[in-house]
Structure 1
Amino acid sequence: MRECILIERERIAKRVAELGEEITRAMGAAGIADFDFLWLAEGAFVFAADLARKIDMPMRIMSLKVSSYGDALESGGSPEYSQDFSVHAGRHVLLVDDVLDSGLTARAIMGEIEKSGAKSARLCVLFEKLSSARTPGIEADFTGFKIGKEFIFGYGLDCARKFRNLPDVHKIISEDGRG
């Protein structure tokens, strides 16, 4: 496997701090005093931990174990998860994910949050893949970086369940030398 660094840790840290400020401002402007910060395990764990510390308002932090990739390099379609979403009834929810790709996972989870009786649901992603076939109606409210279709790993994201511990985000380089 050939790879290279796509985004260095310093650039990630700067953007995560900016996202925290954006979320704090947007929630405050909407009259939201506190909310549920629901992050998707496992890929978003580093991003979620860093982001939560940059948001300057009260929140309940929760995780949801979900998977749509497994060992593959592309989303496998329907996400697998189990969660009692009723804990979000009457609450504002910020769903935090690592990558918005096809949008199937985000659509499924956002749908469950809305069905639970949550007051509102917003989506924050570290990466939005621009060249993906996106599920209609799924857009992130807060986005860290917009990227192409390359497979990325590091900073919590895995490649075949490895490399989550890398501090920078890497991309796989194809045999023809393109990302």
Structure 2
Amino acid sequence: MTSQTHPLAEALSQSDVLFERAQLEPVIAGLGQRIDQALQGERAVFLTVMNGALMFAGQLAFAIRTDLEFDYVHATRYRGETSGNELHWLREPVADLKGRTVLLVDDILDEGHTLKAVRDDCLTRGARRVLIATLCRKRHDRLVEGIDSDFNGVDLPDRYVYGYGMDYHEQGRNLPAIYALR
């Protein structure tokens, strides 16, 4: 599916703006303060889930005052398909997680399959605890058991969303707002 098959301009004309950047910035600042309180000065591993969390993670990192060690992961269950089960690593964490707190940062908690698999992998690698920070979470009843955000910015309706790191057929990640198709 290419941008020619799914033009971003057409999607934007058929979408609603849910949150503008100006609305999200104070929300992210508040998440940073809450994370500082939870870490209580502990130097955690800030583990960004690529590609979607890149924009949010950068802003969140600046909002956290506690010193952090940075790493990232890139994992997928889909491998170009619309569904999948087995986690496929494109890049595993490099930082030593043993005995550490991991702050797992992702753009969205939708159903949670991939995020749960990455969280469980961090624990298998010896993380003492994994705290999950998401920019947004969809409101629906399809969330897999045993996963949720410890820190979440905004809740979204159960619609196709994109922008602010989330993509519309690999386009629009750098849009400075969260959009939802009508």
Assess same fold via TM > 0.5: yes
SS at structure 2 position matched to 1:131: coil
| Number of equivalenced pairs | 168
Please state if 1:51 is matched with 2:95. no
Question: Cα gap change, 1:144/1:71 in structure 2, threshold over 3 Å: closer, same or farther?
Answer: farther
Which residue is equivalent to 2:6?
A: none
Please state if 1:80 is matched with 2:88. yes
| Distance in 1 (alpha carbons) for counterparts of 2:176 and 2:80 | 21
State the shift of 1:86 in Å: 6.8
Please state if 1:6 is matched with 2:18. yes
Aligned residues: CA RMSD = 1.8
Instruction: List alignment gaps of at least 5 residues for structure 1.
Output: 174-179
State the shift of 1:160 in Å: 0.3
Which residue is equivalent to 2:137?
A: 128
| Distance in 2 (alpha carbons) for counterparts of 1:85 and 1:116 | 11
Which residue is equivalent to 2:38?
A: 26
Question: Cα gap change, 1:59/1:9 in structure 2, threshold over 3 Å: closer, same or farther?
Answer: same
Q: So what's the TM-score if we normalise by structure 2? A: 0.85
1:76 maps to a residue whose letter is S
Please state if 1:17 is matched with 2:29. yes
State the shift of 1:87 in Å: 1.7
- 1:1-179 mapped onto 2 (5 Å cutoff): 1=11, 2-28=14-40, 32-68=41-77, 76-78=83-85, 79-81=87-89, 82-84=91-93, 87-173=96-182
Q: So what's the TM-score if we normalise by structure 1? A: 0.87
Q: Is the 8 A contact 2:49 2:106 kept in 1?
A: yes
2:158 maps to a residue whose letter is K
1:23 maps to a residue whose letter is I
Instruction: List alignment gaps of at least 5 residues for structure 2.
Output: 1-10
